[in-house]
Amino acid sequence: MSQGEEKEKLHVEEDEKHLLLDHNYDNIHELNHPLPSWWNAIFLVSVIYGTAYFFYYQVFGGPTLKEEFHTEYGRVLAAQTEFKKLNGVFSQSFYDGIVKNDGVKKGEEVYELNCMPCHMENGKGDVGPNLTDKHWIVAKGNPDSIHHVVFHGSEANGMPAWGELIKKDEVYQAVAYVMTFRNTFVKGKEPQGEIVED
């Protein structure tokens, strides 16, 4: 039987006839369906992307992962410095506003939640120093210096930098509450640091 005659006998849908390939093996015929256009499109895009990627990173010296990390980390550090510059400076008028707006009472809540584990109730101290005596290690017993140590912390010695952990208002409220411990001399941790007279 000639190839032509064989083809005649095949059952092929009318609209697929043009796809029939000219070869057969043991009467097995093959249709040549083209790849779907979406597949071709994705393939083409990947090839273009892959080529551009290769040339950018391997040939034209695009940044390595390490360099990209350093750039982004630098941005984070810059934002942190900016944040500290903006909020880390004590403002007396802002503090007065906070105190007037129930600051001490709100500060007590902030204290219980964040400071109590180390400075204990009434500021008598445990892990952190006693906040009720005249002795001060880093602060000087006034709102300005207390704000500084609460905001920036003294991280090498175990006091976290709260400026990055709680809201600006909460830092000021905590300071207002800590100020109420002043010279209450609660028995607790022994005095540390230098005596600061009023």
Give me the residues that bind ligand HEC (CB under 6 A), please: 114-115, 117-119, 127-129, 131, 136-139, 146, 149-150, 154, 157-160, 162, 174, 178, 193
Rg of the chain, C-alpha, whole Å: 37
Closest CA to 143 of 185, 94, 105: 94
Going by C-beta distance under 8 Å and a sequence separation of 6 or more, which residues neighbour residue 184? 122, 123, 132
Under 8 Å between Cβ of 123 and 130: yes
CA 132, CA 173: separation in Å to the nearest integer?
A: 17
- Residue 103 Cβ vs ligand HEC, minimum distance, rounded to whole Å: 13
CA 130, CA 119: separation in Å to the nearest integer?
A: 7
- Residue 136 Cβ vs ligand HEC, minimum distance, rounded to whole Å: 4
Which of 96/126 has CB closer to ligand HEC?
126
Which of 67/109 has CB closer to ligand HEC?
109
- Residue 173 Cβ vs ligand HEC, minimum distance, rounded to whole Å: 9
Under 8 Å between Cβ of 32 and 19: yes
- Residue 90 Cβ vs ligand HEC, minimum distance, rounded to whole Å: 13
Which of 62/158 has CB closer to ligand HEC?
158
- Residue 96 Cβ vs ligand HEC, minimum distance, rounded to whole Å: 18
- Residue 91 Cβ vs ligand HEC, minimum distance, rounded to whole Å: 17
Which of 103/129 has CB closer to ligand HEC?
129
Which of 47/165 has CB closer to ligand HEC?
165
| Residues across the chain | 198
Closest CA to 127 of 152, 151, 159: 159
Under 8 Å between Cβ of 188 and 132: yes
Tokens of 68: 């990209």
Which of 29/164 has CB closer to ligand HEC?
164
Which conformational region is residue 193 in: left (phi greater than 0), alpha (psi within -120 to 50 degrees), or beta? left
